[in-house]
């Protein structure tokens, strides 16, 4: 009897992480070893990486920056306009951005040297890398939906390492009037950022 109980307990403990992962939360989330100690004070959102949804890039950068201004521990969020100005004014900063994105595409890893250069150019200790995975109106399970999907990556700009990354999607159903995708994006951004270190939901 006690042996059966022991086996059941072991099975329950093995399944617990899967149950937790499946109950709400984001589709994918990963934290680096230093995530719990990370306390960024100044942050910037990089221009979203190239994708088939390039028309959404400005809206997404604006939405994410707006959501970050509501995070209590972050003292300063660089505006999207300032980020654009810095990359337009400095060839070195722009070249670092291009190199950083190309290395990220090729290796899936944050290039430390160019990340540190970006941090210095933007005068921040952290930045967010964004990819727009969906920004569209589609049919989903018989319904009309407006769908927005993002992948985010939080980078420590003092070391160039990835602290946290996540992927998630949000849909809004409609019958006659299409939802504004920027409004859907605001809900999605707020939810994703609520999981970002150090205040991430547990």
Give domain status of residue 20, yes or no: no
The number of beta carbons lying within 10 Å of the beta carbon of residue 151 is 20
Give domain status of residue 11, yes or no: no
Return d(Cα 25, Cα 96) in angstroms, integer. 34
Return d(Cα 68, Cα 45) in angstroms, integer. 9
Give domain status of residue 183, yes or no: yes
Read off the pLDDT of residues 22-51 as tens digits, 9 standing for 90 and up: 346 999 999 998 898 999 999 999 999 999
Q: How confident is the model at residue 20 (pLDDT cuts 50, 70, 90)?
A: very low
Give domain status of residue 53, yes or no: yes
The number of beta carbons lying within 10 Å of the beta carbon of residue 113 is 12
Q: How confident is the model at residue 127 (pLDDT cuts 50, 70, 90)?
A: very high
Q: DSSP letter string over 28-83?
A: EEEE-TTGGG---SEEEEPPPBP-TTGGGHHHHHHHHHHHHTT-TT--EE--HHHH
Return d(Cα 135, Cα 103) in angstroms, integer. 25
Predicted TM-score (pTM) of this structure = 0.85
Length of the chain, in residues: 202
Return d(Cα 20, Cα 39) in angstroms, integer. 26
Give domain status of residue 98, yes or no: yes
Return d(Cα 2, Cα 155) in angstroms, integer. 49
Q: In whole angstroms, how large is the CA radius of gyration of the chain?
A: 19
C-alpha 22, offset from chain centre = 19
Give domain status of residue 18, yes or no: no
What's the CATH code of the domain at 188?
A: 3.40.50.10610
Give domain status of residue 101, yes or no: yes
Q: Is the pLDDT of residue 133 over 70?
A: yes
Mean pLDDT of the chain: 89
Its domain, for residue 187, covers 27-193
Q: How many domains are there within the chain?
A: 1
Give domain status of residue 201, yes or no: no
């Amino acid at each position: 009897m006690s042996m059966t109980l022991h086996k059941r307990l072991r099975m329950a403990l093995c399944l617990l992480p899967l149950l937790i992962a499946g109950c709400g939360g984001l589709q994918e989330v990963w934290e680096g070893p230093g995530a719990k100690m990370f306390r960024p004070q100044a942050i910037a959102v990089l221009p979203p990486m190239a994708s088939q949804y390039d028309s959404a890039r400005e809206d997404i950068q604006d939405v994410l920056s707006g959501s970050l201004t509501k995070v209590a521990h972050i003292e300063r969020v660089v505006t999207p306009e300032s980020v654009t100005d810095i990359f337009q004014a400095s060839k070195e900063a722009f070249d670092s951005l291009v190199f950083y994105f190309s290395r990220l595409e090729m290796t899936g890893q944050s290039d430390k040297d160019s990340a540190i250069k970006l941090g210095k150019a933007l005068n921040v200790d952290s930045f967010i890398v964004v990819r727009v995975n969906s920004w569209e109106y589609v049919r989903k399970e018989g319904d009309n939906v407006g769908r927005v999907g993002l992948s985010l990556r939080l980078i420590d700009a003092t070391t160039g390492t990835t602290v946290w990354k996540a992927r998630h999607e949000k849909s809004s159903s409609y019958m006659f009037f299409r939802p504004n995708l920027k409004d859907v994006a605001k809900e999605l951004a707020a939810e994703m950022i609520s999981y970002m270190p150090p205040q991430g939901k547990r």
